[in-house]
Structure 1
Amino acid sequence: PISLPPLPGDRAPVASPARSASLPTVVVVALASALLAALLTAGLLQVFDRDSGQRGTARSTLESGAALDIQTLLRKAQPSVVTVHTDTASSSGLYGGAGTGVVVGEDGYILTNWHVIGGASSVRVTLHDGTEHEATLVGGFPNDDIALIRVVDGPSLVPAELGSSSSIQVGDEVVAIGNALNLGGTPSVTRGIVSATDRTIQTPEITLRGLIQTDAAINPGNSGGPLLDVQGRVIGINTAIISDAQNIGFAIPIDAVKPLIDELKQGRGMITPSSAFLGVVTESVNSVPDAVLDQYDVSASNGALITEVQPGTAADRSGLRIGDVITRIDGQRVRSREDVLAIIRSHDAGDEITVEIERAGRKTEITVELGSRLGGN
C-alpha cells in the first residue's frame, strides 16, 4: 500500500517468496514491492435503502442484531480476488513485488493499483484455484493509481460484483481481502467500518482525492485488492496506509474507477504496452544534497540526476550511468525529474531520442532507442 509520511514501498529485493517494494511518501495499500498484500471481503447482509428511504427486504446488522456473515461473503468474493507477483530489474539486482488484484472480466481482465505493476518487467497472477498465469499490461492511469492487466491463456475467470460508493456512510461495515505481506496461501481477510469519506492524500508523485478511509486492517500487499460492502460488492480498491498510524487505510472509490476500466479496455490508458520506457530513476538536481552532487562532480544547476539504471533497459543499453545529469532530451530543456517523465511519455516504444547529459562536469549526447513499459526494455 502507499504509506503516508513514512511511506512503505511495495517492492523489495527478491530474497524470499514474499517480497515488497517501497513507494515515495504515502503507502499505497495495494502497491507491490515492499511486501504488499491486498484486502477484500464484505459481510453479506440486508441493508437500508438510503436512496428511497424505504426498508428493503434486508436490514442492517444494527437493525437486525444479526452477525455479519463473513463466510457467505467470502464464498461470493474470494473467487474474484487474485495475488499479483511482479519482477523488476534494478541496478542492485532483481526485485520482486506482491500485491492484489480484482477480476473485472471473465475474459481475463484484472484491476489493480498502478504502483503494484508500474515499471515491472513481468507480471504473474495466482488465481483462487491456486494456478499461476502470466499477465500482460492492458494500460494504466498512474495519476489515479489504477492499472488493468490481463491473464494470458488463462481459464474463464469469475468477475467481482462492482457496487456503488456514492451511498456509503461513515459507520458502514466493510471487509478487505488481499495478499497482506505476501504470506502465501489464501488471501487475508479483515473487517472494519467506513471511518470517513472524501479524504485526500498526497505523495511526491500523485495526489489522490475522494478516498474512502477505513479501519479495516490494510498492509503491504493489500494494494489493488477490494474493499467490500456487507453484500460482498466492491466499493473501493485498497491503495494506501499511513505508516505510523493505527487502523487508518484508504481505498479509491469504485465509482471513480468504473469509467477508467472502460477507458483502459479501449486502449486509452495514459500508459499502454506501446508507451515508451527509458529505464532510469532520477531526482531533480535542485533537490539533491550537495554532498551527492560533489560526489558526481555535478556543476549543472538544473536537470535530472540519474540515481538508478535498470539492467537490460533502453537506458542501460545506451550507456547511461548513475550520476549522469539529464539536461536536454531531443533539444527540450530538462529542469527536473518531472520533465523527463513528461517527455518520455510523449514518445512511443521504439522511438529514437537524443539525450544530452552532463557526466563528471562534461557534456555529451547519447542516442537512445526507447523500450516498452512492461517488458523491461
Structure 2
Amino acid sequence: MFTQDHSAGRRLAGAAAILAVGGFALSGCFGGAPVVEPSSDAAGFDDLESATVYIKGQGTFIDPGTLDDAEGAWIGSGFLVSEDGLVMTNNHVVTGAGTLNVYIGGDQGQETRATVLGASECLDLAVIQLEGNGFPFLDWHDGDIKTGLDVYSAGYPLGAAEEFTLTRGIVSKDDFPLDTQWASLDHVIEHDARIRGGNSGGPLVDQDGALVGVNYAGDDSLDYNFAIHRDTAEEALPKLAAGESVDSIGINAKAWVSEDGTMAGVWVSSVDAGGAADAVGIEPGDLVFKLAGVSVGTDGTLADYCQVLRTQGSDGTIDLQVYRPSTDELLDGQINGDELVVTASDAFGGGPTDTGGFTTVTDDSGVLSVSAPAEWAQVDGTGFPDDAGNQWLGVSAAPNLQAFWETYEAAGLQLMGVEGAGTSAEDMLATVSQGFDGACSPVETGAPYDDGLYAGVYSEWECGTTTGAIVVSTLDSGGNNVVLILQLVSDYDKQEALPEILATFQANF
C-alpha cells in the first residue's frame, strides 16, 4: 500500500509512524509568467540550506473512506529555482491549503508570503511564488542521471521539525515508471539518501548541489526512497509557473478501494479553489468514479485517471461521474463543460463505509477536543488531580468506557492535558506507560513523534492478538503536557480511526 512520505493531507504522518500498516510512506503569476532559465549564479552544495524552504500548511480535508471534514496542519519542504522566488514542491503539500507559511532556509524569523501558481496531481508537483527578489536558488544537474550517482536529500523531516537535515546515498535505479495512490509518473528515481515525513517536495541533489529530482515518497520499513526525475520536473516547471493545467483538474487526489472491494475510485480530499474541479462542482469527500467513461482507481493507483487526462488533455471537455457519500448520490457532468447534476439518489445505501463517521468530543472545559468514531458514543469529559497537585483536563470516548478503562481488549481513547507541569515528554510517557508495560508486549518504545503541530515521543504495545495499544505524549514550549492514550481493536480502528484521531487531537490552553 502506497502512502505519501509527509504529514501533508493533515497530520497523517503521525499515524504512519506510530502504527505501521505496511507499504510506502509519504513527501496566477505576479506580472506575467516567470522566465525560468539556468544560471551560473545558482547556489552550490555549501549553500544548499539557503535555497531549501520549509512549508507549513493548514486547511480542511476529508480523508478517504470518511464522511466528516476536519481541519489540520502539516509540514513539507521545497526549493527555490529562480532568484525571483519560484519554489517547486509537491502537489500534496499545497493543494487544498487555506494558508501556507513558507520559511527560507527553515529560519522561522524569515517567513515569506507565498501564492500557489500551478499544481499537478498526476505528477505530484507544484510551483509557488514567493514575494520578493534576490533569492538563492538551485540549478539542474547537467548530464545523464545514472545508477551509482552520489545524491543527497535535503529538507525538513518529521522528528527534526524546523531543522534542516541532509542525508547521503546513491541512485539505486535511474529511470522507471511508478504508479501510486496519489501520482502516476513515467520517470522516477530510486535512491537511498533516506527521506522521512516532511521531506515531501524537497530537493534531491548531486555533490555540486544541482537538482537531480524532487523527493515525494518512501518506505521506511524497506528503506526505499523515491524522487520525481529531473526531466519531468524541469519540463513541468515553466508550465506550472504560468498557471497551466498539467495532467490535473485541481484536486488533492488519492485512489481508494473499499475494504470489501465493491467500490473504487479517486477520492477527493480537497479541491483547488478556482480550478476545473471546483468549477464543475466537485467537493471534498467526493469519489470520482469515471472519467471519459473509464472507471478509475480500481487498481488502487491513479494510473487510469492520469492516462485519461493525458489522452484528453487537461483543458479538454471530459465526461465525469462522481459519487457523493455524504448524500449517497451519483452526479454527472463534464470537466471544462457542464456542471455536475444529481442523476441518482440513494445510490449505495449510505456511502463507502459501514460506519457512522466521526464526531468531535471535548472535555467539560472545552479546552481538549478530538474527532472520535461515532460508535464510540460513551463520553466522559471530567478531569482529575495528580499526586503533584496538578489539575488535569481529560476526555475519554469508547463504545464501552468501563471496558476501555478496565481491560486491554476494548477500543477507546483518552486525551489528557495539563498546564505548566513542566514535565518532559519522556518522563510523562514513562509514567503513563506503566500499565501497558506490565500487561502487554512492547513494539516501539520512546520513539520520536512530530505531526507538525505537536512534538514529543510515543510507544506502542501489542496486548493479546487483537488489540494494539498506543500512547503519545506531547510537550509544547509553554510546559504544557498533552497525552493521548489509544486502544485499537478492529481493522477499522487501526486504518480509519487512528489517522482521524491523530489528525485532530488538540489542546487549546
The TM tier, using the shorter chain, reads: 0.5 to 0.7
**CA deviations over 1:246-276 (Å, ceiling 9, x no partner):** 2x2121221222121111222223378xx66
In 2, distance between residues paired with 1:334 and 1:10?
30
The structure-2 alpha-carbon separation of the partners of 1:20 and 1:9, relative to structure 1 and needing over 3 Å to count, comes to: farther
Maintained 8 Å contact 2:5/2:217: no
- Cα RMSD (Å) of the superposition? 4.5
In 1, distance between residues paired with 2:192 and 2:112?
33
Maintained 8 Å contact 2:16/2:25: no
Tell me, yes or no, if structure 1 residue 259 matches structure 2 residue 235. Answer: yes
Tell me, yes or no, if structure 1 residue 346 matches structure 2 residue 339. Answer: no
2:225 to 249, 264, 267: 249
In 2, distance between residues paired with 1:187 and 1:264?
26
TM-score (norm 1): 0.61
Q: Which residue identity does 2:122 align to in structure 1?
A: N
Partner SS, residue 48 of structure 2:
helix
Maintained 8 Å contact 2:9/2:92: no
Which residue does the alignment assign to 2:258? 288
Tell me, yes or no, if structure 1 residue 143 matches structure 2 residue 122. Answer: yes
Partner SS, residue 79 of structure 1:
helix
**CA deviations over 1:153-177 (Å, ceiling 9, x no partner):** 345321212223x423322221111
In 1, distance between residues paired with 2:9 and 2:243?
32
**CA deviations over 1:306-361 (Å, ceiling 9, x no partner):** 89789x9999xx99897x988899xx9896675457x878238xx85423342376
Q: Which residue identity does 1:158 align to in structure 2?
A: P
Q: Which residue identity does 1:346 align to in structure 2?
A: I
Maintained 8 Å contact 2:89/2:127: yes
Shift in Å, 1:211: 1.9
TM-score (norm 2): 0.47
Maintained 8 Å contact 1:309/1:320: yes
The structure-2 alpha-carbon separation of the partners of 1:360 and 1:176, relative to structure 1 and needing over 3 Å to count, comes to: closer
Q: In the TM superposition, what are the counterparts of 1:1-377 in structure 2 within 5 Å?
A: 5=1, 7-8=3-4, 10-11=6-7, 26-28=24-26, 30=27, 74-90=45-61, 91-128=68-105, 129-130=107-108, 131-151=110-130, 153-164=131-142, 166-181=143-158, 183-246=160-223, 248-270=224-246, 287-289=257-259, 339-340=320-321, 346-347=335-336, 352-359=339-346
Maintained 8 Å contact 2:7/2:198: no
**CA deviations over 1:191-222 (Å, ceiling 9, x no partner):** 11222211333213433233222111111111
**CA deviations over 1:118-156 (Å, ceiling 9, x no partner):** 3322222111243123322111222112111112x3453
In 1, distance between residues paired with 2:113 and 2:182?
28
Which residue does the alignment assign to 1:35? none
The structure-2 alpha-carbon separation of the partners of 1:163 and 1:308, relative to structure 1 and needing over 3 Å to count, comes to: closer
Q: Relative contact order: is structure 1 or structure 2 higher (C-alpha 8 Å, sep ≥ 6)?
A: 1
**CA deviations over 1:224-264 (Å, ceiling 9, x no partner):** 11111111111111122124202x21212212221211112
The structure-2 alpha-carbon separation of the partners of 1:306 and 1:197, relative to structure 1 and needing over 3 Å to count, comes to: closer
Which protein shows a greater Rg? Answer: 2
The structure-2 alpha-carbon separation of the partners of 1:216 and 1:355, relative to structure 1 and needing over 3 Å to count, comes to: same
Maintained 8 Å contact 1:140/1:270: yes
**CA deviations over 1:63-90 (Å, ceiling 9, x no partner):** xxxxxxxxx9553211110011111203
The structure-2 alpha-carbon separation of the partners of 1:7 and 1:336, relative to structure 1 and needing over 3 Å to count, comes to: closer
Identity of aligned residues (%): 24
The structure-2 alpha-carbon separation of the partners of 1:197 and 1:102, relative to structure 1 and needing over 3 Å to count, comes to: same
Q: Tell me the number of residue pairs that the alignment of Structure 1 and Structure 2 aligns.
A: 289
